[in-house]
Amino acid sequence: MAYLELKNVCKTYGTGKDSTEVLSNINLTIEEGEFVAIVGFTGSGKTTLVNLINGLIKPTSGEVLFKGEPVVDTSHERGVIFQNYSLLPWLTVGQNVAMAVTEAFPKESKSEIMERVKSFVEMVGLSHAINKRPKELSGGMRQRVAVARALAMKPEMIIMDEPLGALDALTRGNLQDEILNIWNQDKRTALLITNDVDEGIYMADRIIPLKPGPNATLGPEFKIEIDRPRDKTALNDNENFMKTRNEIIAYLMTIGDERKSVSEVEYVLPDLEPKSFVGSL
Amino acid sequence: MKQEITLKTESQAPNIMKPITEFLKLKLGKVNFLGGFKKTGITILSILLFIGLWHLGSKALYNKEADYKVEKALTEQGQAAADAERACIESGESGCQPNTLPSPTQVWASLQSLIADHYIIKEKKDAFATKMEATNQKLIAKGKAPIVYTGRASFIDTVLTSIKTVFAGFLLALLIAVPIGIIIGLSPTLKSAFNWFIQIFKPVSPVVWYLLVFMIVKTIYIGKSSDNAFVISFISVGLCAMWATLVNTAMGVASVDKDYINVAKVLKLGTFQKVFKVILPSSLPLIFTGLRITLSVAWMVLIAIELLAQSPGLGLFVWEEFQNGANDSNSKIIVAMFVIGIIGFLLDRLMLTVQQMVSFNKNEGI
């Protein structure tokens, strides 16, 4: 039995004439302990797919099965790292993590919770910033807090929705390694949604492209046969890496071209003029 | 003769303006210490210009009124009466002073007399209390209400009454508007149930609110001797002022960032936790904006409501001085006007400080 299984999942937004089918016929199987990456263009429905898996939204048709049970709601078993960090700005780093810990381990005493919070904040290297608020932190640090918060609930599966999308290349590389390290420690199942093919190849066991929406569907999977731990600097000379990378990019280019040819409708833009507010007080 | 009067006022003007400018220099100098002296200088200059224009305006009105009085005496009673009238005005005798916009000097003098009056009344009160102490203790022992001083309230007492009323009204508004706002913001069904109610009662005038509250409170207090003016005025103030908070709270709660709601869902927070740990903190800035508007509206409507309710606050003070028509009534009204303005300003600053304490930068915090 697969660990996570999506069977013919469709998701439609809106009703009647205005409805758009964002995802159609998504079939996906993830085994326990696997690291799967889904790559796709912006706006192809990646976030919708993530929300279906973590239980924030329900599919219009089809089934999402987690350990054989249909997903009806969010669960502590599936930790989520959001694209825009989603830290609560009025809480400190420690409080943000503590909120998750308190919910996931309601029976623990205050000191046990504090211990847990401290250990997870330390794990992402932010012990010095535990009493700072998100706005005092850099983008990379904020994302680390989000990672700590997701992992502090001890989820069985980590779902990451473009977690590093808003970071600069250097911070990105560092965090990729950190996430891999954490994943390596207890080999939890992981699903990474990304728009960066290199990131996918570096981190995942399998890469599945998501064809651009509307009516987005999953393309053929690409297995990454590079031994772990992977060395980022040596990766560029790895034949396997180059081959897989070229294949994936070639595939994405073709479906990108298809999309262009499909959508050759000419849109008439409204004739708007910026309103001048100067002197209109 | 006219010129003498003018000279007299002018010679006094620098004396009264000196403490004001000194005070402003000190205060504004502190506030804008880093902003440089240019801004402070402009503020002081504009204050001086304002006082100057006020002085000139009141002088012109004074002269017009004085001329009219003399002219009237001349046409009605002849030259002798006119001369007598002019002499009377000149001598500064209170009986024949022109009744018009008071000059800054007169207002300053009235302020001082009002403060002096406060101490006189306070002494009387204390004397009364010591005199009645023994009797009151007996009354209390018997379970009866003690006899309290019922004389005229001093200006400072009226200010304190007004502040007490506005805070009681504000508290009432807060206790009604914030919980209802949260409930309405959370449930679209209740929002449509309450919406007509809010839209209809929001624009109702303070006077009508007063009448409504009067109808109800009067019946509740029927047969009781206690004074209900305070109760009526603070309830009316609260009902008039609560709408801004109600609407802002509902809006703040309804428009919580979807990301925060998703976080709450993913962490599986219960409804109670979700409301108190995510929705409320995130809507606090908007709630406090509403409360700030509520407090300034409360202070504005308070004056009119106190006047109607005969509650011994600033509103009643202004009205009684106007009805009184004594020589210094007009300048006392102007004193009250400044006091109302300054207290309103301070209340707003107070709320602004609280608001800044609870707010966070939403955009940077994500």
Chain B residues touching residue A147 (CB < 8 angstroms): none
Q: Do the domain assignments include residue A239?
A: yes
The pairing of beta strand A35-40 with beta strand A189-194: parallel
Best residue in A51, A83, A86, A133 to probe B by mutation, most B CBs within 10 Å? Answer: A86
* Identity of the residue in A54, A88, A103 whose CB atom sits nearest the CB atom of B260: A88
Chain A residues touching residue B278 (CB < 8 angstroms): 88
Chain B residues touching residue A75 (CB < 8 angstroms): 268
* Cα–Cα dist B278/B272, whole Å: 10
Which parts of chain A sit beneath pLDDT 70? 1, 213, 259-266, 276-281
Q: How many domains is chain A partitioned into structurally?
A: 1
What pLDDT is stored for residue B176 in this prediction? 94
What pLDDT is stored for residue B175 in this prediction? 95
| CA-atom Rg of chain A in angstroms | 21
Interchain contact, B366 vs A84, CB within 8 Å: yes
Chain A residues touching residue B269 (CB < 8 angstroms): 99, 103
Instruction: Write down the mean pLDDT value for chain B.
Output: 84
pLDDT in tens, B194-217: 889 899 998 898 899 999 999 998
Residues 6+ away with beta carbon under 8 Å from A129: A93, A136, A137, A141
What the block records as the tokens of B148 is: 């309290």
- One domain, residues B199 and B287: yes
Residue B190 burial (10 A CB sphere; 0-12, 13-18, 19+): middle
- One domain, residues B177 and B309: yes
Q: How many domains is chain B partitioned into structurally?
A: 3
What pLDDT is stored for residue A13 in this prediction? 85
Helix, strand, coil percentages for chain A (3-state, nearest 5) = 40, 20, 40
What pLDDT is stored for residue B1 in this prediction? 40
Q: Is B235 a residue whose pLDDT tops 90? A: yes
Q: Is B28 a residue whose pLDDT tops 70? A: no
With an 8 Å Cβ cutoff, is A249 touching chain B? no
Q: Give the mean pLDDT of B20-28.
A: 57
- One domain, residues B135 and B79: no
Q: Which residue range is the domain that position B356 belongs to? A: 153-361
Q: Do the domain assignments include residue A175?
A: no
The CATH number covering residue B210 comes to 1.10.3720.10
pLDDT in tens, B261-309: 988 988 888 888 889 889 998 999 899 999 999 999 999 999 889 988 8
Chain B residues touching residue A76 (CB < 8 angstroms): 268
Q: Do the domain assignments include residue B291?
A: yes
- One domain, residues B157 and B128: no
* Cα–Cα dist A218/A26, whole Å: 6
- One domain, residues B44 and B161: no
Q: Do the domain assignments include residue A207?
A: yes
Q: Do the domain assignments include residue A46?
A: yes
Q: Is B145 a residue whose pLDDT tops 90? A: no
Q: Do the domain assignments include residue B366?
A: no
Q: Do the domain assignments include residue A259?
A: yes
Chain B residues touching residue A153 (CB < 8 angstroms): 267
Measured in angstroms, the CA of B267 and the nearest CA of chain A are apart by 6
* Identity of the residue in B262, B269, B362 whose CB atom sits nearest the CB atom of A82: B262
The strands making up A157-161's β-sheet, listed across from edge to edge, are A78-81, A157-161, A189-194, A35-40, A206-210, A222-223
With an 8 Å Cβ cutoff, is B281 touching chain A? yes
- One domain, residues B138 and B214: no
Domain endpoint, select from B44, B67, B90: B90
- One domain, residues B229 and B283: yes
Q: b vs e for B96-113, b when ≥16 Cβ sit within 10 Å of the residue's Cβ?
A: bbeebbbbbbbbbbbbee
Residue of B nearest to A85 (CA): B366
With an 8 Å Cβ cutoff, is A106 touching chain B? no
Q: What is the ipTM of this complex?
A: 0.79
- One domain, residues B157 and B306: yes
* Identity of the residue in A90, A100, A133 whose CB atom sits nearest the CB atom of B267: A100
pLDDT in tens, B37-94: 788 889 999 999 999 999 999 999 999 988 888 888 888 888 888 888 888 888 877 7
Chain A residues touching residue B277 (CB < 8 angstroms): 88, 99
Q: Is B365 a residue whose pLDDT tops 80? A: no
Q: Do the domain assignments include residue B301?
A: yes
* Exposure of B114 in the CB half-sphere (CA atoms within 13 A): 26
With an 8 Å Cβ cutoff, is A174 touching chain B? no
CA B11 to chain centre: 33
Q: Do the domain assignments include residue A120?
A: no
Share of residues in chain B with pLDDT > 90 (%) = 36
* Identity of the residue in B265, B267, B360 whose CB atom sits nearest the CB atom of A90: B360
- The pTM for the full model equals 0.76
Q: Please give the helix or strand (H or E) that residue A12 lies within, else none.
A: strand A4-13
What pLDDT is stored for residue B6 in this prediction? 41
Which 8-state DSSP code applies to residue A276?
Answer: P
- Measured from the Cβ of residue A158, the count of other Cβ atoms closer than 10 Å reads 22
Q: Do the domain assignments include residue B43?
A: yes
Residue with tokens 């599936």: A78
Interchain contact, A90 vs B366, CB within 8 Å: no
- One domain, residues B185 and B281: yes
Residue, of B313 and B326, whose pLDDT is higher:
B313
- One domain, residues B209 and B275: yes
Q: Could you tell me if A66 and A4 are in contact, meaning their C-beta atoms sit under 8 angstroms apart?
A: yes
Q: Do the domain assignments include residue A193?
A: yes
Q: Could you tell me if B355 and B284 are in contact, meaning their C-beta atoms sit under 8 angstroms apart?
A: no
In which band, very low, low, confident or very high, does the pLDDT at B13 lie, cut at 50, 70 and 90? very low
Residue of B nearest to A51 (CA): B262
Interchain contact, A134 vs B365, CB within 8 Å: yes
With an 8 Å Cβ cutoff, is B269 touching chain A? yes
The CATH number covering residue A261 comes to 3.40.50.300
Q: Is B174 a residue whose pLDDT tops 60? A: yes
Q: Which residue range is the domain that position A238 belongs to? A: 1-72+186-281
Q: Give the mean pLDDT of B184-200.
A: 90
Q: Do the domain assignments include residue A146?
A: no
What pLDDT is stored for residue B225 in this prediction? 65
DSSP-based three-state secondary structure for A15: coil
Q: Could you tell me if A193 and A218 are in contact, meaning their C-beta atoms sit under 8 angstroms apart?
A: no
Q: Do the domain assignments include residue B98?
A: no
- One domain, residues B192 and B334: yes
Task: Find the angle CA(A174)-CA(A177)-CA(A181) to the nearest 5 degrees.
Answer: 140
In Å, what is the CA distance from A202 to each residue of A35, A123, A213? 11, 22, 26
- One domain, residues B213 and B295: yes
What the block records as the tokens of A212 is: 């651009």
